[in-house]
Amino acid sequence: MLKHIIMLVLMVGLMTAVGWAQEEGTATDSVVQQTLAAPPTNVQAFDTPNDNGHSITIEWDISADDGQGLNNVVKYLILRSATPDGQFAEIGAATPGATTFKNSGVKDDEDPNYFPRETDFYYTVSAVTADGGAESEVVGPVRGEGQFFDTRNGPVLVGCLLFTIFTIFFIRKAKSGAKLYIRPLAGIDAVDEAIGRATEMGKPILYILGLGSAADIATIASFTILGRVAKKVAEYQTSLIVPCYDPIVMTVAQETVKTGYYDAGRPDAYNEDDVFFLTNQQFAYVGGVNGIMVRQKPATNFYLGKFYAESLIMAETGSSAGAIQISGTDEVTQIPFFVVACDYTLIGEELYAASAYLGGDPTLLGTLKGQDWAKAGVIISIILGIIAAVTGQTWFTELFHVGN
């Protein structure tokens, strides 16, 4: 009996000892697991420069246990509060090794991503390990404020100013009666010839302004050429068809054509329905224009403006319908299609030149000259920039660098 009692006591004692040992082990392990990383230091929060004020940038030095020491940082959490001793909420996370975070949002106060400007905030950064986070000291208050001028765009301002000076100088020169030389362009010389051909054949002229909006530079250049074409059309009493893709482009085109007819002294011949809205779906527009080409058989097709994938489909249909075709766009990917399918193509910059050349207006001529000399400035800058890059003079190349 005693033997059994001793055995029982020994077993209980052994089990208890094992239990204690396990508890002790767990306790030791938990001490190891609960090891936190050192918090990030030198935390700074400041208004993000060169923005609209809806952003604050937070910077810090990495934790002593990030990539070194205990090397147990899994991420950094950025916490924000409206008061220094208030409840800090998590607003974002950064990967180990990161030292900066931008707390930004949109300006629309109805948007869930709204970030208020001119509102004080306090920030803290927490170095997170598997066992928890170690927060840095609280920094703040800091508020986002909008800047009037983005200093990174300095080179853009200088470029715009130089271009404006060139343009004003040449406009004044053109207005003073000085002869400004512009080299002849084959496509431009063909415009009158193409209008004459349509008149002789008694067929209409089709003018496509492209898919651009009324604010696209190519569309604006096209309006000027349209004005000139409309004037000639009115003089020769030919008909003009202008199907439009954009309702505002249509409105401006109507005004342009009307002015052309007035300038030719034939306002009675102007028909507003000749300039009409077709549709603003790209390939539906192509279908409609192709239909006009094969049914009304225009003698001359103009494609001047902004074009995309529809360029070849339209130009090819026009070519198979036997029309003389003059095209021009600044959309580089579409120029090859016009080159192969049209009789004359105005390549990129030539489209802008055409509007000045045909208009003959001193303001436009002066603008073209201004552009030309701005281009000369660009060529000289490239040569100097390459010399600077070869000789390692990076200060010169940086003068042209626009930050993002």
**Which spans of this chain sit near another protein (rule: CB under 8 A)?**
153, 155-156, 159-160, 163, 181-183, 185, 213-217, 220, 248, 251-252, 255, 278-281, 283-285, 287-288, 290-291, 294-295, 312, 332-333, 335-337, 339-340, 347-350, 353, 368-369, 372-373, 375-376, 378-379, 381-383, 385-386, 388-390, 397, 400-402
For the bound state, the minimum distance from the C-beta of residue 257 to another protein, rounded and expressed in Å, comes to 14
CB of 216 to another protein, least distance (A): 8
CB closer to another protein, 198 vs 286 = 286
**Cβ closest to another protein, residue 146 vs residue 159:** 159
| Shortest Å distance, C-beta 397 to another protein | 4
Pairing of strands 275-277, 240-244: parallel
Distance in angstroms (rounded) separating the CA atoms of residues 311 and 302: 12
d(CA 395, CA 152): 15
Q: Name the residue nearer to another protein (CB basis): 99 or 397.
A: 397
> Minimum Å distance from CB 348 to another protein?
7
Nearer to another protein, 231 or 369 (CB): 369
CB 339 within 8 A of CB 205: no
CA gyration radius, the chain: 36
For residues 85 and 273, which CB has a smaller minimum distance to another protein in the complex? 273
What's the one-letter identity of residue 165? I
Q: For residue 54, give the nearest of 146, 121, 123, 142 by alpha carbon.
A: 146
Q: Which two three-digit tokens encode residue 305?
A: 């403006």
User: In whole angstroms, what is the distance from residue 72 CA to residue 36 CA?
Assistant: 8
Q: Measured from the CB of residue 370, what is the shortest distance to another protein in angstroms?
A: 11
Contacts of 175 (CB under 8 A, 6+ apart): 362, 363, 366
Q: What does the DSSP 8-state code read for residue 278?
A: -
Instruction: List the structure tokens of 154.
Output: 């300095």
Nearer to another protein, 30 or 394 (CB): 394
Minimum CB separation of residue 120 from another protein in Å reads 25
Minimum separation from the CB atom of position 77 to another protein (A): 35
Nearer to another protein, 141 or 336 (CB): 336
Cα separation, 303 vs 314, whole angstroms: 9
CA dist 200 and 299 (Å) reads 9
To another protein, the closest distance from the beta carbon of 262 in angstroms equals: 14
The distance of closest approach from Cβ of residue 134 to another protein in the complex, given in angstroms and rounded to an integer, is 42
Closest to 77 measured CA to CA, from 95, 64, 63, 56: 95
Is there a contact between 66 and 118 (Cβ–Cβ < 8 Å)?
A: no
Taking the least distance from each CB to another protein, the nearer of 41 and 153 is: 153
Bond into 141 cis (ω within 30): yes
CA angle 345, 201, 261 (to 5 degrees): 75
Q: CB atoms < 10 A from the CB of 290, how many? A: 18
Q: How far, in Å, CA of 328 to CA of 306, rounded?
A: 8
- Cβ 337 to another protein shortest distance, Å: 7
Is residue 363 within 8 Å of residue 347, measured between CB atoms?
Answer: no
Between 92 and 155, whose beta carbon lies closer to another protein? 155
Q: Which is nearer to another protein, 12 or 215 (CB)?
A: 215
Could you say which DSSP state residue 248 is in? H
